[in-house]
């Protein structure tokens, strides 16, 4: 790639002697020839700035930002691998990651080096052609804090800028590493209130020298915000709050003065409000607008949070701000007064589409609520919205007002008993990135078919400063109350790869999957769509019609989106493999349908690759060793409530683990003997948070009694079927 000097030297003063002028011309010509013949000096590691990202198509062999480009299309112009030869893909290299937990990262590849993350925010730098580990950066995540929020010890990848690699950590820090050697450049704490359960799972974005990151934790009661830090020093430059602060005090900004009027009462403020920006962002350099997707409320129950009144801005919204200052420009709210965890944190894509005969600069999103949105990205005005997944909470989106036409049947806070809502809290599409192919004109969406029951809990009270605890204000029927209920739901929970026409707002083709939480997608100029699956495969489809052209075993479930890159004229496709995250932990029994076990690794393919896939080594499933049950039925029932309230987000509803963390039904006799100590913090260095000060000894005893019951249940199942899970 040629580079021009942005500050050329001033022209030399004119000289009178013609021989000198002639000599100068001769020397200049010779110097130019030598310069042209000499190879370009290699760039320093991670030498990326805004100009390179904006002009990414000029060097398609790199993948320099999480969406490859600021428009987040996740489309590659590379076409050495095509629909005609993709069946010749073979393994180029494989690397086993340190922790077999959820892997959600999008790798960054710059000038032959891959930067990617695994569980607990560990950063890896590889030679992108050979897979040789160049260095590793471990931020030493505080495992106690990492267990305080949703969902699993995952990380969605790094960002790079001018020789540094940036990673958000599960315990809420933003860390900058020197790309040259993996030494730490700076480390800042992004958490403004350590009495609440903040963390980071999302990938940073770097715009105009500012590293921008949001936080997660709304289910546990936090106030959402996005923060910009100086890429060189880590100094905080601005913070944009996504929900208002204390309504009895002046708000920080004019837009929050507007937002606070859309909330009622004070309970929401005590709960934190939510609206966390835990994942997606996009940037338009021409408009100089940064787009932020915001999340659900604290708590979910609209009547307990805001007396069932108001839109509750800026929950479940796309918000446009100026990246230099964080100043608000516009917003569009996908789900006003969100009461179902219908976040708008899902992947956003910028594109120019021809709509009604005119080129429109748009932003498009398929958020959790099941509608696919096409929005004018300069003004925030809705252009179109249609259902891409089963939906019953709203009949349609009114194009004049931009607002949903709600279905009153989904308003569980007004009902007695459980209410079926489609889609449920994992949405019609979750964090797994979609992609847009400008050649086919299609968006490729990791779709969910998902429904759950919500039930009002009018007597619920927010538990201040009580961490590790889902504070939703919604009854347990949201997930089903017994194993048979979970089985009923899991039989209905399926997934698909959906090819969607954003102009016509309709499905073009679809490939069904066995369960939800399949991988994000990548589309390429080779007329291909790549995706990993929950049931342990990596697959390539023809982009135009969805025909499967290639697949290979991944040895575990795949959730992350693949990338493609070029080194020395050879194209590679890289998949991050590892089962975990919200679905496989919380809905453990349902996730077992996928038939995979956690195994975290990097798999990279190229045409004619000859590497042999090394066998996966999975931990042995131990037989249950329960002690004698001495608790009453009432104590066991109470222990179940304690478990589902405090433990299920990691160990699975009804104590059925998806295999990501230890299955508590299979505790050894030794661990049963020290169970209270484990709960009180004896295993905090192993990633098990301490519940000291959260649970009483009586609650721990009842919790243990419930797990003993579940261990005996499993023993009985294993006698009937040795392969029971």
Q: Which residues are catalytic?
A: 341
Q: How far apart are CA 504 and CA 651, in angstroms?
A: 43
| Of the candidates 657, 672, 507, the residue with the CA atom closest to the CA atom of residue 590 | 657
| Of the candidates 109, 105, 132, 134, the residue with the CA atom closest to the CA atom of residue 121 | 105
Q: How far apart are CA 487 and CA 485, in angstroms?
A: 5
Given a contact cutoff of 8 angstroms between Cβ atoms, the answer to whether 153 and 585 are in contact is no
Number of residues written out for the chain? 725
Given a contact cutoff of 8 angstroms between Cβ atoms, the answer to whether 393 and 369 are in contact is yes
Reading the block at residue 229, the tokens are 């830090």
Given a contact cutoff of 8 angstroms between Cβ atoms, the answer to whether 332 and 380 are in contact is yes
Given a contact cutoff of 8 angstroms between Cβ atoms, the answer to whether 294 and 316 are in contact is yes
In sequence order, what are the beta bridge partners of 94?
A: 603
| Of the candidates 591, 428, 588, 587, the residue with the CA atom closest to the CA atom of residue 514 | 591
Residues with Cβ within 8 Å of 522's Cβ and at least 6 positions away in sequence, in order, are 74, 75, 76, 435, 529, 530, 531, 561, 562, 563, 564, 573
Cis peptide before 151 (omega within 30 of 0): yes
Residues with Cβ within 8 Å of 507's Cβ and at least 6 positions away in sequence, in order, are 388, 498, 499, 500, 501
Please give the full DSSP string across 350-411, using - where no structure is assigned. EEEEEETTEEEEEEEE--TTSEEEEEETTT--EEEEEESS---SEEEE-TTT--EEE-GGG-
Q: How far apart are CA 624 and CA 645, in angstroms?
A: 23
Given a contact cutoff of 8 angstroms between Cβ atoms, the answer to whether 338 and 297 are in contact is yes
The SS3 assignment for 590 reads helix
Q: How far apart are CA 646 and CA 659, in angstroms?
A: 18
Q: How far apart are CA 80 and CA 528, in angstroms?
A: 11
| Of the candidates 532, 533, 524, the residue with the CA atom closest to the CA atom of residue 572 | 524
Give the helix/strand (H/E) hosting 430: none
The radius of gyration computed from the CA coordinates of the chain, to the nearest angstrom, equals 26
Q: Using CA of residue 684, residue 688, residue 692, residue 693, what is the dihedral sign? A: positive
Reading the block at residue 350, the tokens are 């910028």
Q: How far apart are CA 138 and CA 190, in angstroms?
A: 18
Q: How far apart are CA 214 and CA 345, in angstroms?
A: 11
Chain position carrying tokens 């393919």 = 605
Q: How far apart are CA 16 and CA 32, in angstroms?
A: 24
Q: How far apart are CA 398 and CA 405, in angstroms?
A: 7
């Amino acid at each position: 790639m040629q580079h021009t000097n942005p500050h050329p030297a001033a022209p030399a003063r004119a000289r009178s002697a013609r021989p000198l002028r002639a000599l100068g011309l001769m020397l200049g010509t010779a110097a130019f020839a030598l310069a042209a013949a000499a190879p370009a000096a290699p760039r320093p590691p991670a030498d990326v700035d805004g100009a390179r990202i904006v002009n990414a198509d000029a060097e398609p062999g790199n993948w320099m930002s999480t969406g490859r480009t600021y428009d987040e299309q996740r489309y590659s112009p590379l076409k050495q691998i095509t629909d005609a030869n993709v069946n010749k893909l073979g393994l180029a290299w494989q690397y086993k990651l340190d922790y077999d937990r959820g892997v959600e990262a999008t790798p960054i590849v710059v000038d032959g080096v891959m930067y990617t993350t695994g569980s607990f925010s560990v950063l890896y730098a590889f030679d992108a052609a050979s897979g040789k580990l160049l260095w590793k950066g471990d931020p030493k995540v505080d495992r106690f804090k990492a267990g305080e929020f949703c969902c699993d010890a995952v990380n969605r990848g790094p960002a790079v800028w001018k020789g540094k690699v940036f990673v958000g950590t599960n315990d809420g820090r933003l860390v900058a590493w020197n790309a040259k050697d993996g030494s730490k450049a700076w480390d800042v704490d992004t958490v403004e209130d350590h009495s609440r359960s903040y963390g980071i799972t999302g990938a940073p974005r770097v715009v105009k020298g500012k590293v921008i990151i949001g936080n997660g934790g709304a289910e546990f009661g936090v106030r959402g915000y996005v923060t910009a830090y100086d890429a060189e020093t880590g100094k905080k430059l601005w913070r944009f709050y996504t929900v208002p602060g204390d309504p009895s005090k002046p708000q920080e900004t004019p837009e929050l003065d507007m937002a606070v009027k859309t909330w009622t009462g004070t309970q929401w403020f005590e709960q934190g409000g939510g609206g966390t920006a835990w994942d997606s962002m996009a940037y338009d350099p021409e408009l100089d607008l940064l787009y932020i997707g915001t999340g659900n409320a604290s708590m979910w129950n609209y009547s307990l949070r805001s007396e069932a009144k108001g839109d509750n801005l800026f929950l479940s919204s796309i918000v446009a701000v100026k990246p230099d200052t964080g100043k608000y420009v516009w917003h569009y709210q996908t789900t006003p007064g969100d009461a179902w965890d219908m976040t708008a944190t899902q992947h956003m894509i910028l594109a120019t589409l021809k709509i009604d005969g005119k080129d429109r600069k748009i932003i498009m999103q398929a958020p959790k609520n099941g509608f696919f949105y096409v929005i004018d990205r300069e003004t925030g005005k809705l252009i179109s919205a249609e259902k891409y997944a089963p939906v019953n909470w709203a009949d349609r989106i009114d194009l004049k007002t931009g607002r949903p036409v709600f279905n009153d049947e989904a308003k569980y806070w007004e009902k007695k008993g459980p209410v079926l809502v489609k889609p449920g809290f994992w949405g019609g599409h979750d964090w797994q990135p979609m992609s847009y192919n400008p050649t086919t004109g299609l968006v490729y969406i990791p779709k969910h078919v998902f429904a759950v029951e919500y039930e009002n809990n009018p007597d619920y009270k927010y538990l201040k400063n009580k961490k590790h605890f889902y504070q939703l204000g919604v009854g347990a029927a949201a997930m089903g109350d017994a194993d048979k209920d979970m089985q009923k739901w899991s039989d209905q929970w399926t997934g698909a790869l959906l090819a969607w026409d954003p102009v016509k707002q309709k499905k073009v083709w679809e490939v069904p999957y066995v369960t939800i939480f399949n991988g994000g997608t990548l589309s390429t100029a080779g007329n291909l769509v790549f995706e990993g699956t929950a049931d342990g495969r990596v697959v390539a489809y023809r982009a135009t019609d969805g025909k499967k052209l290639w697949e290979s075993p991944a040895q575990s479930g795949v959730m992350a989106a693949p990338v493609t890159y070029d080194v020395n004229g050879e194209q590679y496709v890289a998949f991050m493999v590892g089962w975990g995250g919200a679905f496989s932990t919380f809905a453990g029994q349902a996730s077992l349908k996928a038939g995979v076990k956690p195994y975290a690794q990097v798999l990279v393919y190229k045409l004619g690759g000859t590497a042999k896939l090394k066998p996966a080594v999975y931990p042995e499933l131990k037989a249950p060793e329960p002690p004698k049950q001495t608790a009453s039925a009432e104590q066991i029932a109470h222990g179940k409530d304690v478990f589902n309230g405090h433990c299920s987000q990691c160990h699975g509803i009804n104590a059925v683990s998806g295999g990501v963390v230890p299955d508590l039904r299979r505790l050894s006799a030794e661990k049963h003997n020290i169970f209270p100590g484990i709960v009180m913090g004896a295993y905090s260095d192993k990633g098990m948070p301490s519940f000291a000060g959260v649970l009483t000894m009586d609650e721990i005893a009842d919790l243990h009694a419930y797990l003993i019951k579940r261990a005996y249940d499993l023993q009985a199942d294993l006698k009937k079927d040795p392969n029971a899970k």
